[in-house]
Amino acid sequence: MDRTRKENRPGLPAHSAKIPAHVGDGPKRVPVSQLPQSRVPGGAAQAQRVLCPSNLAQRVPVPSQAPKTAASNQKLSHNQRMQQPQPTCVVQSSSRPQAPNNNEKPHHVPVSANQPEKEGTSKPKNQETKKRQWSLDDFEIGRPLGKGKFGNVYLAREKQSKFILALKVLFKSQLEEAGVEHQLRREVEIQSHLRHPNILRLYGYFHDATRVYLILEYAPRGEVYKELQKLTKFDEQRTANYITELADALSYCHSKRVIHRDIKPENLLLGSNGELKMADFGWSVHAPSSRRTTLCGTLDYLPPEMIEGRTHDEKVDIWSLGVLCYEFLVGKPPFEAETYQETYRCISKVEFRYPPFLSEGAKDLISKLLKHNPYHRLPLKDVLEHPWIRENSTKSPASRVSEAAGSQKSEANNKT
């Protein structure tokens, strides 16, 4: 498909920390409210893949009370290109860090292991323990990686450590106009506390008078969706590897009471070794109470309990894992249809067909994930032990590797 995507060629030009105000027109998701409403059951503005001018399918998100903020790095949408609001301010850094604005208190952000805190010999001891305050002057800005609804993503390098990362630049005026400040805070709070090899790291954030900056892990190989479009579909081994990594990452999230709620190929990135990185926590929620009612995500991946207006919990992610497994193997989602009504009907009745080339093992896994009753869906720990996964996956879940390492360390301590 002809979808404009970000590039992921290595290399970083040594620029000064200058953020252009605009990086050309970039594609973005289009709210369904801009599409014909007669197709939506009950008159509600929902979403599905629609036809763009080139007659190619694209996904459109289900709108909620507040639009989704983009927080995954290097993420671009697909077919439609829409004019973005152009900021009028350009941030230009000097060779020396500038004094902070007295009217604005900078945020303290966590420092990663790759970004050591700068030491000052004249600082009192209690000040040395404070967390690092980042500013734009700490980074060299490289080429643009992508463009989202509220800003742009750039390849960047931290000057002191030479650490390569992705810098997401969001414009405050656009966030305020859309009324999504609270969503951004929640997204940052959740993603910054997650530590898993298959979850994209959010190292920290800072802001100035006009922008918010997210310091993100750089995923050199880009989106899984881009790979899927290039290859049309994945073979069983590659699919099983991705499902293993994603199931393990979701299991970790659920153990922290975090529900992602928007699992799909566009929100999955690839690291330097081809490992999967779960990203874009814009619809995620920390839900200790377990039950939620917000309708969110993308129509093709919505579970029956969401479209039927019932409460939902972390099992919505298990449904999405089944949809994802099907799309990886077949090349399209199982409930894709011509109209909104038909997609809704197929999801509600769990009505879809398997192509003849799909193996019995794959069919068995998908059928156990796509259950109308959330409590009948295969638990994530059982997904990792499913015969088809064990037969085809060459990846070991990160949790299993950690347990093995811990066991070996314990044995070594006992021997000594």
Residues carrying an active site annotation: 262
Angstrom distance (rounded) from CA 261 to CA 315: 9
Pairing of strands 211-216, 202-207: antiparallel
Tell whether residue 362 is among the known ligand binding residues: no
The span from the CA of 377 to the CA of 61, in Å, is 24
> What angle separates helix 236-255 from helix 360-369, to the nearest 10 degrees?
20
Q: Is 230 annotated as a binding residue?
A: no
225 labelled ligand-binding: no
Q: Is 266 annotated as a binding residue?
A: yes
The response to whether 8 counts as a known ligand-binding position is no
Measured distance CA(79)–CA(92) in Å, rounded:
32
Number of H helices, E strands in the chain: 12, 15
Q: Is 105 labelled a binding residue?
A: no
* Gap between the Cα atoms of 69 and 179, Å rounded: 10
Q: What angle do CA 395, 386, 411 make, to 5 degrees?
A: 55
Separation of alpha carbons 279 and 351, rounded Å: 29
Local structure of 312: helix, strand or coil:
strand
Give the residue ranges of the annotated binding site for ATP: 149, 168, 217-219, 266-267, 280
Give the residue ranges of the annotated binding site: 149, 168, 217-219, 266-267, 280
